[in-house]
Structure 1
Amino acid sequence: MLMTHNSWASTPTPATLTPSATPENPYGLGALWAQGDAVAKITLLILVLMSMGSWFVIATKYLEQSKLLKLAAATQASFKQAASVRQAADALDTTSPFRFIAEKGLEGAAQHPGLHDTVDFNAWVVMSLQRAMTTVQSRLQDGLAVLATVGSTAPFVGLFGTVWGIYHALVKIGMSGQASIDKVAGPVGEALIMTAIGLAVAVPAVLGYNWLVRRNKAVMEEINAFGADVHAALLASAKR
């Protein structure tokens, strides 16, 4: 009737108390890369490169636009305090688009004396400034074509991966003769992952494109305002 301490010590530990390792997902990204063929891997790499390219453009264009917006406020203040357009242009950084516009306006004003019989001074200066501002606008749009391309093509690249995964599922069904879930789960999971990745690449590219285009409009408003100030200053100096 008496139980010894050894009998308690020898009581087996219930299996439920033993921690079990979490099973690895056989249909995740790791399995997609390990089990996918060359076509699936190339498709995935293309989507990754598209995503990296779009995020790089978004980051660099945001920093460029932010720099120009800050530079615009400082340029307007220094331009109003300068005694002449030449002095204001010399005070600006050589890489500044505002100095580029001012320099082109001064070049146009300097070239006009040989054209005064055929071209009005006002019209000639306006053309010179407009060409300079158009050049700046073109540079501001650099990189946006990448976002537009990624946003429009990434879903179709993902769709290609989806179709390829469904094709593998059908091949496995045909080879096994039965449509059991264990035969088609891998290829179907691969197809769905490709669809999700395609959308995950395209959506930020489209949103980033629209956002950067709106910010470009704000920058161009500052550029146009500065061009108008240079135009007015050149006309005033010509009258004097």
Structure 2
Amino acid sequence: MGADTHNSDDFLQSFAVVWQGGIVAQTILVIMVVMSMLTWFITITKMWEQRKLNKQYADIQKEAQKGSFWSGNLRDSIDKLKGNDHAYKMIAEEGLRAAEHHEGHLADQLALHEWISISLQRAVDSVSNRLTGGLWFLATTGSTAPFIGLLGTVIGIYKALLAISAAGQASLEKTAGPIGEALVMTAIGLLVAVPAVFFYNVLIRRNKDIMEKTRFFASGVHSYLVSTTRQARK
């Protein structure tokens, strides 16, 4: 317990050193704290969204294994899916609308499979955009936070040199504050950047897996609609 309290005090003291460094140091510190908070917020919300999409796909797979999802009427199958914000339900509905619209308006202008494919691709792209939204901030934070911290480091070293120049000699009393500020700025920049880069790569990898499942589902919808629509027209 004593060690934890000591570490906490050292952490707060490090921030206090930076905060006493003037308006420029304070501005840099605030920017990096905001970047860190947004990084964690985006990461948590994206992981929650990924978890939700994986659960939605798992529910569909359970129904498909029972043989009830693709064997009957697709409209009835997707109506059973729970949730207003169901990505796979949206994809299937987009495909159904495309098939109905083609039959009434585009039968002589564009092949059925092409029209349904275009509509499904649009729906898949919307899921992809939903997953990748905000990831640019993690990438930006990961690439810029170390340099923002480095700016604070340069300013701290510059202050230390000014203190040495004013005192005429390198006194620990004069240089400890600015040098400490410089080192803390470097550490904070890395503490902000490393999680951003790590979680960006994790989220990108998980998004890739989800999009593979999404495209596989869209392919199933495409095959179902093309075959059933053609059979209905015979």
Q: Would you say same fold, with TM above 0.5?
A: yes
Q: 2:206 aligns with which of 190, 197, 215?
A: 215
Map Cα deviations across residues 120-142 of structure 1 (whole Å, 9 max, x no partner).
Answer: 00111111101110111111101
Say if 2:151 is the partner of 1:160. Answer: yes
The reply on whether 1:193 has 2:184 as its aligned counterpart is yes
Instruction: Encode CA deviations 1:144-181: one digit per residue, 9 max, x unaligned.
Output: 01101111110111011001101111111111111122
How much does 1:33 deviate? 4.2
Gaps of 5+ in 1: 1-21
Which residue in the other structure is 1:69 paired with? Answer: 54
Q: Is 1:41–2:31 an aligned residue pair?
A: no
Determine helix, strand or coil for the equivalent of 1:107: helix
Choose which of 81, 89, 100 in structure 1 pairs with 2:90. Answer: 100
Between structures 1 and 2, the one with greater helix share: 2
> What is the one-letter code of the residue matched to 2:93?
E
Q: Who is 2:68 aligned against?
A: 81
Contact 2:50 2:207 in 1 (8 A): yes
In the alignment, structure 2 segments of 5+ residues that lack a partner are 1-5
Alpha-carbon distance in structure 1 between the residues aligned to 2:162 and 2:193: 30
Per the TM alignment, residue 34 of structure 1 is displaced from its structure 2 partner at its CA by 5.1
Moved over 2 A (4+): 76-80
Pick one of 40, 45, 55 that aligns with 2:40: 55
- Cα distance in 1, alignment partners of residues 129 and 84 from structure 2: 19
- The alignment-based identity, stated in percent, is 47
**Amino acid across the alignment from 2:119:** S
Report the number of matched residues.
217
Letter of the structure 2 residue corresponding to residue 107 of structure 1 = R
Amino acid at match of 1:87: D
Q: Contact (CA 8 Å) 1:148, 1:209: kept in 2 or not?
A: yes
* Aligned twin of 1:10: none
Per-residue Cα deviation, 1:167-217 (whole angstroms, up to 9, x for no partner): 111111111111122211110111011001001100110010000000001
Question: Does 2:221 correspond to 1:230?
Answer: yes
Structure 1 residues 103 and 30, CA, compared in 2 at 3 Å: closer, same or farther?
A: closer
TM-score, length-normalised on structure 1? 0.85
Does residue 1:173 correspond to 2:157, yes or no?
no
Of the two, which has the highest radius of gyration?
1
Letter in structure 1 aligned against 2:102:
H
